[in-house]
Structure 1
Amino acid sequence: MACRVLTIGFALFYAAALFLFIVGTYGLFGQEKDPLSGVFLLPIGLPWIYLGHLMPDAVRPVLGAAAPAVNLALLMLICRARRNRR
């Protein structure tokens, strides 16, 4: 149960951070464009964010937005493996 709650909580944080990134990047809903709108994606995307230094500049925003998805997938795999072990 705790693993499921943790996974859902992480997914909600990721969805909120991704929403703020999109709104700030494209200036949706009358917001000004903000270059720091992706700052909430950084901590939940660690350690995969560090791969951004190896990529070209055009790919970095996409990698920054997708890095937390890797952590979410790993968290789901760990929870599934733990559930199957029981």
Structure 2
Amino acid sequence: MKWAFVIFVLLYTLALLLLAIGTFGWFGQEPDPLSGVFLVPLGLPWNLLGDRLGLAGPALAILAPAINAGLLFLLWKR
């Protein structure tokens, strides 16, 4: 579980970095409205649950993968 947690956190960090680069146009990149698309599969099923509860928005897409990371961390330490 340690490797699953480490790989997931690396992918989550990379997705957040791509979101920031695409949103703010860092490194000469054009602003891209789809820059946060890589956060969606990392945050499943919490993205779908939050959407059905009416909590859809950028904060949900950014924080939903953190729930999965927390669950992986708990499974690793168990």
Instruction: Establish whether TM, by shorter chain, passes 0.5.
Output: yes
Runs of 4+ in 1 over 6 A off after TM superposition: none
- Hey, what does 1:5 align to over in structure 2? 3
Q: Does the residue aligned with 1:35 lie in a helix, a strand or coil?
A: coil
CA RMSD of aligned residues (A): 1.3
Distance in 1 (alpha carbons) for counterparts of 2:18 and 2:58: 13
Pick the aligned partner of 2:63 from 54, 62, 66: 66
Counterpart Cα distance in 1 of 2:55 and 2:74: 27
**TM-score scaled to structure 1, two decimals?**
0.81
Q: 1:36: Cα distance to partner?
A: 0.5
Greater relative contact order: 1 or 2 (C-alpha under 8 angstroms, separation 6 or more)?
2
Count of residues in correspondence between the two structures: 76
TM-score after normalising by structure 2: 0.89
Unaligned stretches of 5+ residues in structure 1: 82-86
